[in-house]
């Protein structure tokens, strides 16, 4: 891949920002958008939070904006003329380079710039460092092909993220409706937790559980020779995430006391984020023979009265997390705690039959699968983008050599719709 210096004639012009007086900027939309650093950056374009009426350094629409102070190397493209502060450099494409190719070339150069940053309090780079930066410069037609492909992958990833957000909003709305109106269209009654269907009961959690237990305090490590021990990071609303496992070495007798069984409900009992206390996961057999740590509480339920997934969904809803948060105990270290007595006293709305509980679980499970599908697609596209960025910028592959039929197919959002 042919290389060039960023500051070579016809490649780019580098302009460093300068902070205007504080009296010159505002949050009311007066003047030009004012960008100060990485905090103002979006996925591809900055998002205005402040405006400036007396700027000293300006960027134009289409300029690449780079964060040059802690963190170093993040980039966006300006969509309009704007004022730039001292944490930003504007890099203006010259006649030899496509502006979007310049953007991606600079994004690829982020690690190099970070390695050249100086400063003890705030890492930063200066204009000389930027001008001396070497970037690839293939023929113009190839630049445009590369930037078009990379933009397409970024856009598809953004579409998947939008679909994740839409599905999450759908789930919240479904929870509100299902836990207040049920599925049978019957009249509602007022209870301590708000309206519920008339033939539902609101019971204390203690009346439907058979056992509550704190987890093991055994020291855990990433050494896989021990037994898997679930910790707070493994507990997500409704499910266990086994991607960051630690292991503990326990005797067979001790391990038997903490071994989880299918359908066990696992509560987080201490956390600095109040809303996390309501999160509880249902153990469904993975990872196999898992134990649970001391910051968790295991609840074994009377399965003839309540489906554990129904309980997990309720305590993960807005109503459920609000109830748990309202009963948590603040600690001196700034965290919030639950104990077995508090969990036993938590109200739980119950339909009269397990069948209705399971129908509600099936609806929410379907939405969760949709959320997870779009998350996985987003993750795959993110990894594809990283691989393509590296290989295209180093010349390891060429756009002409790639099979782009999958990207040229109907957009992901249209297929999902």
Domains of the chain, with CATH numbers?
A: 3-136 (3.90.220.20), 148-165+368-416 (no CATH), 201-350 (3.90.220.20)
Residue 414 has pLDDT above 50, yes or no: no
Percent over 70 (pLDDT), the chain: 97
Residue 225 has pLDDT above 60, yes or no: yes
Distance CA(368)–CA(299), nearest Å, equals: 23
The model's pLDDT over 143-193, given as tens digits with 9 standing for 90+, comes to: 999 999 999 999 999 999 999 999 999 999 999 999 999 999 999 999 999
DSSP state, 320? H
The model's pLDDT over 355-413, given as tens digits with 9 standing for 90+, comes to: 999 999 999 999 999 999 999 999 999 999 999 999 999 999 999 889 877 676 554 44
The model's pLDDT over 287-296, given as tens digits with 9 standing for 90+, comes to: 999 999 999 9
Distance CA(350)–CA(333), nearest Å, equals: 36
| Of 113, 18, 12, 25, the residue nearest 63 (C-alpha) | 12
The model's pLDDT over 8-28, given as tens digits with 9 standing for 90+, comes to: 999 999 999 999 999 999 999
The model's pLDDT over 230-279, given as tens digits with 9 standing for 90+, comes to: 999 999 988 999 989 999 999 999 999 999 999 999 999 999 888 888 77
Residue 416 has pLDDT above 70, yes or no: no
Residue 326 has pLDDT above 60, yes or no: yes
Residue 43, pLDDT score? 93
Distance CA(367)–CA(365), nearest Å, equals: 5
């Amino acid at each position: 891949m042919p290389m060039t210096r960023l500051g070579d004639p016809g490649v780019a012009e580098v302009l460093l920002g300068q902070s205007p007086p504080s009296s010159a900027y505002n949050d009311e939309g007066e003047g030009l958008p004012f960008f100060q650093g990485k905090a103002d950056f979006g996925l591809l374009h900055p998002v205005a939070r402040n405006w400036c009426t007396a700027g000293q350094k300006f960027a134009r629409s289409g300029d690449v904006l780079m964060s040059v102070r802690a963190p170093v190397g993040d980039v966006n493209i300006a969509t309009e003329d704007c004022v730039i502060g001292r944490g930003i450099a504007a890099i203006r494409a010259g006649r030899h380079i496509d502006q979007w190719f310049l953007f991606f070339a600079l994004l690829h150069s982020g690690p190099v710039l970070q390695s050249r940053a100086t400063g003890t309090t705030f890492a930063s780079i200066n204009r000389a460092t930027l001008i001396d930066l070497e970037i690839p410069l293939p023929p113009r037609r190839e630049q445009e092909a590369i930037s078009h492909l990379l933009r397409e992958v970024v856009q598809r990833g953004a579409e998947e993220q939008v679909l994740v957000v839409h599905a999450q909003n759908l789930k919240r709305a479904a929870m509100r409706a299902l836990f207040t109106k049920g599925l049978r269209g019957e009249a509602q009654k007022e209870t301590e937790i708000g309206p519920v269907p008339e033939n539902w009961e609101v019971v204390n959690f203690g009346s439907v559980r058979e056992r509550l237990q704190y987890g093991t305090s055994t020291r855990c490590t990433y050494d896989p020779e021990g037994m898997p021990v679930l910790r707070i990071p493994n507990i997500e609303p409704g499910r266990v995430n086994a991607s960051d496992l630690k292991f503990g070495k326990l005797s067979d007798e001790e391990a038997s006391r903490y071994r989880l069984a299918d359908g066990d409900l696992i509560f987080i009992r201490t956390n600095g984020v109040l809303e996390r206390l309501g999160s509880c996961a249902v153990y469904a057999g993975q990872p196999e023979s898992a134990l649970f740590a001391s910051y968790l509480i295991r609840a074994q339920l009377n399965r003839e009265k309540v489906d554990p997934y129904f309980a997990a969904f309720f305590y993960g809803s807005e109503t459920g997390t609000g109830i748990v948060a309202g009963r948590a105990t603040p600690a001196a270290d700034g965290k919030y705690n639950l104990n077995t007595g508090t969990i036993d006293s938590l109200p739980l709305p119950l339909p009269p039959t397990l069948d209705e509980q399971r129908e509600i679980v099936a609806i929410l499970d379907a939405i969760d699968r949709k959320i997870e599908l779009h998350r996985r697609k987003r993750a795959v596209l993110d990894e594809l983008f990283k691989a393509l960025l590296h290989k295209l910028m180093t010349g390891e592959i060429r756009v002409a050599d790639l099979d782009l039929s999958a990207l040229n197919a109907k957009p992901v959002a249209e297929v999902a719709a």
